[in-house]
Structure 1
Amino acid sequence: MKFLSSSRYIIILLAVITLLSCSSTKHVGKNTSKNVKQAEPEKTDEVINLKKDVIISEEKKIDEAIKEIPKKIESTKTNHSSWNTLLQKHVSNKGHVDYKAFKSNRNELTNYITYLGNHIPQDSWTREDKLAYWINAYNAMTIDLILRHYPIKSIKDIKNPWDQRFWKLGKKWYNLNEIEHQILRKMDEPRIHFAIVCASFSCPKLQNEAFTPSSIDDQLTNATKVFLADKKRNDISQNSLRLSKIFQWFAKDFKQTGTLIDFLNQYSEITISDKAKKNFKVYNWNLNE
């Protein structure tokens, strides 16, 4: 932006010098030739007008260049299309994952994670950009973790699954716990708990589309509503709640602006009483396939 402002200043300065030069030429003409006394002003005016047109044209080009800057910045942010293709291919609408087939595309998954490592979020990124990046990264890494040990029956068959540092993003090696607790949860967005998936039956379903900055608010809302309406994960009535243990493990996250029931009533199809009794379901860690 500073470069563009300097360019505009230089162009205007050159125009002023040109105008002064033309004016000087005009006076010299008056003193040296009576024959061109009347014709010279007309010619000089034409030159001045031409210079003005050039200045206006250059300013328009500068304005157009300024408008293009956000587009160029946007193009440097992360593209999740390859992850979206993998999800479409190997995850059903109900969130069931075909790990055997996914393993046949392991190279594409590895390439996507490598791509994420080369496009680490910057301070200039929007909150939506960062949310989409880290949610997709978490889910891609979870799939990769399973594929490294597949066939298995549960993510818990892996020793310390959430502490494994298999993935390098930028200059740092990350594990799933760090992404969830040190990054995503600190963004004060409780709906992330219905977007990141632990490869287990009782988890929210893995979406078969990538999260994107432009759609992430709708995607998070939809994921939350679908999870609450799923009676295998939550059984909700006006006066009784049998909830996923996610609401017990991360209780603080759902009470940022009110009670847990206040949060649930934003996304539940059923209006829940403030006095509703709460219980939590046993968590099923079997693989989500």
Structure 2
Amino acid sequence: MKSIKYVLLLSIAALTLQSCNLLSAAGVGSQAQPVKEVTQPLTSTTANSAVNVNHEQWTGLLKTFVNDKGLVDYKGFKKNEQELDEYLDMLASKDPNNDWSPQELLAYYINLYNAQTVKLIVDNYPTKSIKDISGAWTKGRARVDGRELSLGGIENGILRKMNEPRIHFAINCASISCPKLLNEAYTAAKINEQLDQVTKEFINSKKNEISAKNPKISSIFSFYPKDFKVDGEQDIAGYINKYSTTKIDAGAPLTYKEYDWNLNEQ
């Protein structure tokens, strides 16, 4: 009888561990990474962090292989994969911790997500869509101080918990309907201005059809509705109105556009 109980306890423990691992892979957990909430309004500064990461190598790659429309030359990245690997190795050598400022953490994880997504496509090139790659968001692949983080974990377990919804317009999922990949690295010194830039650009782009009475908006707003708040309350239209040149009327029904997962290739 005792042996049966022991086996049952072991089975329960194994299932619990497996569940935790699945949750972490899906991005529910922070994967043992520090999470700092952004104090709004966010200011750009390097003065409040024990570490300032140099992302110039990533900027060089982006300016070379990403055009003004945010479309990516993946063939070019593949030919220069060693330089991409060097940048990812540099990020992997860092140990983000509570001595890092929210600005530095935001820049680090946004750049890590974007660079690792490019690496994912390069490693599986040619491909028509990131969705054709097994475990694209759930497999541990982004190395950080000996750990391997999933893309889903970086987005959902870390960045979304930092109280900065503009991250949704900064991270790029290698797809046509995604916000465009900015052709410079995010840095703590410019993070607020960069996030404002990409948010305004995305909301006012053709990826949304903003009108007063019948707005048709990106499915990103339906993927993460609770993230878009005004005065602490969920308000997608109100959030869009903060950045849109055309304002949505109060109470206007929102229609969500079909998401195009085809590769954002030049």
Q: TM-score range by the shorter chain?
A: 0.7 to 0.9
Q: CA deviation at 1:167?
A: 2.7
Distance across 2 between alignment mates of 1:168 and 1:131:
17
Q: CA deviation at 1:160?
A: 2.0
Distance across 2 between alignment mates of 1:249 and 1:122:
29
| TM-score normalised over the length of structure 2 | 0.79
Residue 218 of structure 2: aligned partner: 244
Q: CA deviation at 1:265?
A: 1.0
Q: Give CA deviations for 1:57-99 in whole Å, capped at 9, x if unaligned.
A: xxxxxxxxxxxxx98x76x421100000000000001001000
Distance across 2 between alignment mates of 1:241 and 1:110:
42
Matches within 5 A, 1:18-57: none
Q: 1:97 aligns with which of 47, 72, 95?
A: 72
Of the two structures, which has the highest relative contact order with CA contacts closer than 8 Å and spacing of 6 or more? 2
Q: 1:282 aligns with which of 231, 255, 258?
A: 258
User: Could you say what the CA RMSD is over the residues aligned between the two structures, in angstroms?
Assistant: 1.4
Q: CA deviation at 1:114?
A: 0.8
Q: Is the 8 A contact 1:132 1:216 kept in 2?
A: yes
Residue 235 of structure 1: aligned partner: 209
SS at match of 1:261: helix
**Counterpart code for 1:252:** K
Q: CA deviation at 1:141?
A: 0.4
**Counterpart code for 1:244:** S
Residue 229 of structure 2: aligned partner: 255
Structure 1 moving runs of 4+ over 4 Å:
none
Q: Is the 8 A contact 1:143 1:199 kept in 2?
A: yes
Distance across 2 between alignment mates of 1:97 and 1:171:
29
SS at match of 2:240: helix
**Counterpart code for 1:267:** Y
Q: CA deviation at 1:209?
A: 0.5
Distance across 2 between alignment mates of 1:139 and 1:176:
9
Identity between Structure 1 and Structure 2 (%): 45
Q: Are residue 182 (structure 1) and residue 148 (structure 2) matched?
A: no
Matches within 5 A, 1:30-179: 76-179=51-154
Q: Which runs of 5+ in 1 are unaligned?
A: 1-69
SS at match of 1:84: helix
Of Structure 1 and Structure 2, the greater helix share is in: 1
Distance across 1 between alignment mates of 2:216 and 2:246:
14
Q: CA deviation at 1:262?
A: 1.5
Aligned length: 217
Q: Which runs of 5+ in 2 are unaligned?
A: 1-45
Distance across 1 between alignment mates of 2:240 and 2:95:
33
Q: Give CA deviations for 1:134-187 in whole Å, capped at 9, x if unaligned.
A: 000000000000001001111011112111222321121111011000000000
Q: Is the 8 A contact 1:200 1:288 kept in 2?
A: yes
